[in-house]
Structure 1
Amino acid sequence: MPVQMSESSQGSRGKGAGLGLALASALAFGGSGVAAKPLIEAGLDPLHVVWLRVTGAALVMLPLAVRHRSLLRRRPALLAGFGLLAVSGVQACYFAALSRIPVGVALLIEYLAPALVLGWVRFVQRRPVSRAAALGVILAAGGLACVVEVWSGLSFDALGLLLALGAACCQVGYFVLADHGGDAGEQAPDPLGVIAYGLLVGAAVLTVVARPWSMRWSVLTGSAHLNGTAVPAVALLAWIVLVATVVAYVTGVLSVRRLSPQVAGVVACLEAVIATVLAWVLLGEHLSAPQIIGGAVVLVGAFIAQSATPAQGSPEPVTAGGPERELSEHRASA
């Protein structure tokens, strides 16, 4: 006789899986900048690094695109939006920012996205948010302000900061579109298919923008310097494609489906802390004491947001996702 699990047990297990996926995604994404910056310094244009990253990942995911080809007919707008915003937009703006400002700062500005997601959910979708989720976003934004040291008059490169902010806006599209259709039951678009076609769309767009035929291909046959240590450029590229793109997108989209856009977004702020630590250790980009404190505040905000409870009086709280969504629909049909 099968043992029946309580709804709370199923919800807790689903949320735990979502958090694990979100952390795995943060770890994978967090290493992209550290691996990409040596390639940029070795002579590759930032857009060419983005093109190599997205095109390589698209080729890896091509069999899944063939398997889920029905998505082209059912969800063409979703696939186009995911490719333009969540893939090409985020990557192009972020890597262009990397060439002008430190890795940690670029990524931390990009992760103002959770605050923007919260605003989207509250004021555009007009859905309630829990106090814990809102507090987590506020703390994360405050930590970001410390990392950028806004009191010093933003001494960083202005164009680099604008590019990082553009990546944050595109990141909003990533979280919102990753959650799109997640509550449609069996009709929900398969997340792996969405990622595969998003990468293909992104690769097509970036091919036009980056013009890879003008790239210095010889850089990939040599070595790049990681804080004085010579590393094969192709090894760095393999890490960027397989781990920092394929693994990162798959675990990231699955985590959004199980949590919610703004909770997964705040947990993803850990990526910025991870990238900052890696840049410190591997690239020698040292941060000041206020910047370190700011990173700790981002961690606290992520912890509070991931423990967010449903907003009171809301039958479909914005912090409910994945199994919680299914249970809510189950109760309604009953």
Structure 2
Amino acid sequence: MAAFTHDARLGAGLGLALVSASSFGLAGSLARALRDAGWTPAAAVAARVLLAAVVLAPIALVQLRGRWGLLRRTAGVITAYGLVAIAGCQLAYFTAVTYMEVGVALLVEYTAPVAVVGWLWLRHRQRPGRLTVLGALIAIAGLLLVLDLLSGARASLVGILWALAAMVGAASYFVLSARREDGLPGSVLAAGGLLLGGLALVAAGALGIVPFAVSTADVAFVGFTAGWWPTVLTLGVVTAALAYAAGIAATRRLGSRLASFVGLTEVLMALLFAWLLLGEAPRPIQLVGGALILIGVVVVRLGEPVRAPEPAAART
């Protein structure tokens, strides 16, 4: 019975992680189209996360059930999630791509799973096994092929430092999402973090830290155009509200290490959506890289220690 429950939890976690990765993967294509229509990246991200916060707020309030003291006790976690894992990560990434090629910045940011493994090793003495290390190497090799950087790409030191900051933000997302000991519901963490992150981005735009502009022009995709508001609505509801909520739920079932490696499939999803919506067809080498990413995730899963089932009273 315990094994069945564990397998069911694992299956649900993997399904939620893939939903989250697919939703996050769609964001890049929508944001690129909005940028071409006159939106700056910071404005698109701010609209995305604030809309997601509005969508998740009612669910968060229901799950809180008036337990406002829980917000006070976990204010530090919510603040770190919003400012580091959301606003800080995306601001650092957008700054990085002003100094270096997008593919290189993505590669650096998506070394986050390796950082998660290192954090768990140093902070919690969870030393990675041989299969985990092997899976990490296979997944990173797959990312190299997916991003097609073998042709040679330029990168500045300043850009690399900003991309490393984005990597820290991405790693923080997985580590903070996996927390369960404080009893903070996932929807509350997501809604609070998204609200703080969105407000931080708006403040950054108001202070001139990042360019901030919106447009009401139609948004062009391959073969069709869409209004700005349904595009922004999809960006907020699907690629943020759904993505973050599913991602937190998945991470709490899988643990931060495995969830971070499953999250690497976001790169593959981003390529597929760019092909469908923007006409950017993936090259054969990128398809091979996508296969390596999936193989790496499987190997990491095989190297994961079996976690003891939670007591029935602890499940929600």
Q: How does 1:226-265 map to 2 (within 5 A)?
A: 226-227=221-222, 229-265=224-260
Q: Partners in 2 of 1:167 and 1:143 — Cα distance?
A: 20
Q: Quick one: which of 18, 41, 50 aligns to 1:55?
A: 50
| One-letter amino acid of the counterpart of residue 310, structure 2 | E
Cα deviation, residue 174, structure 1 = 0.4
Q: Quick one: which of 196, 221, 246 aligns to 1:201?
A: 196
Aligned to 1:122: 121
User: Pairwise CA RMSD of aligned residues?
Assistant: 2.9
Residues 47 and 159 from structure 1, CA distance in 2 versus in 1: closer, same or farther, beyond 3 angstroms? farther
Question: Is residue 326 of structure 1 aligned with residue 310 of structure 2?
Answer: yes
| 2:101–2:154 contact (8 Å) kept in structure 1 | no
Residues 97 and 46 from structure 1, CA distance in 2 versus in 1: closer, same or farther, beyond 3 angstroms? farther
Q: How does 1:228-307 map to 2 (within 5 A)?
A: 229-307=224-302
Aligned to 1:89: 88
Question: Is residue 143 of structure 1 aligned with residue 142 of structure 2?
Answer: yes
| 1:37–1:98 contact (8 Å) kept in structure 2 | no
Name the SS for the 2:303 alignment partner. coil
Deviations, residues 291-311 of structure 1 (Å, cap 9, x unaligned): 33222211211222234341x
Cα deviation, residue 128, structure 1 = 2.6
Residues 96 and 226 from structure 1, CA distance in 2 versus in 1: closer, same or farther, beyond 3 angstroms? farther
Q: How does 1:59-208 map to 2 (within 5 A)?
A: 59-67=54-62, 68=64, 69-95=68-94, 107-155=106-154, 163-180=162-179, 182=180, 184=181, 187-208=182-203
Q: Partners in 2 of 1:109 and 1:227 — Cα distance?
A: 29
Cα deviation, residue 225, structure 1 = 1.4
| 2:272–2:282 contact (8 Å) kept in structure 1 | no
Q: Partners in 2 of 1:155 and 1:38 — Cα distance?
A: 25
Q: Partners in 2 of 1:58 and 1:296 — Cα distance?
A: 34
Residues 207 and 65 from structure 1, CA distance in 2 versus in 1: closer, same or farther, beyond 3 angstroms? farther
Instruction: Give the % identical residues.
Output: 33
TM-score, L = length of structure 1: 0.81
Cα deviation, residue 60, structure 1 = 1.8
TM-score, L = length of structure 2: 0.86
Residues 129 and 73 from structure 1, CA distance in 2 versus in 1: closer, same or farther, beyond 3 angstroms? same
Residues 102 and 237 from structure 1, CA distance in 2 versus in 1: closer, same or farther, beyond 3 angstroms? farther
Q: Partners in 2 of 1:43 and 1:163 — Cα distance?
A: 25
Deviates more, 1:263-272 or 1:281-290: 281-290
Deviates more, 1:90-99 or 1:7-16: 90-99
Question: Is residue 9 of structure 1 aligned with residue 32 of structure 2?
Answer: no
Q: Partners in 1 of 2:109 and 2:229 — Cα distance?
A: 27
Residues 98 and 294 from structure 1, CA distance in 2 versus in 1: closer, same or farther, beyond 3 angstroms? same
Cα deviation, residue 130, structure 1 = 3.5
| 1:37–1:99 contact (8 Å) kept in structure 2 | no
Q: Partners in 2 of 1:261 and 1:194 — Cα distance?
A: 15
Aligned to 1:3: none
| One-letter amino acid of the counterpart of residue 234, structure 1 | W
Name the SS for the 1:225 alignment partner. strand
| One-letter amino acid of the counterpart of residue 202, structure 2 | T
Q: Partners in 2 of 1:61 and 1:249 — Cα distance?
A: 10
| One-letter amino acid of the counterpart of residue 55, structure 1 | L
Name the SS for the 1:254 alignment partner. helix
Cα deviation, residue 166, structure 1 = 3.1
Cα deviation, residue 284, structure 1 = 2.6
| One-letter amino acid of the counterpart of residue 47, structure 2 | L
| One-letter amino acid of the counterpart of residue 251, structure 2 | V
| One-letter amino acid of the counterpart of residue 175, structure 1 | F
Q: Partners in 2 of 1:309 and 1:296 — Cα distance?
A: 20
Count of residue pairs brought into register by the alignment: 308
Cα deviation, residue 179, structure 1 = 1.2
Cα deviation, residue 105, structure 1 = 6.5
Cα deviation, residue 37, structure 1 = 0.6
Cα deviation, residue 52, structure 1 = 0.7
Cα deviation, residue 223, structure 1 = 0.5
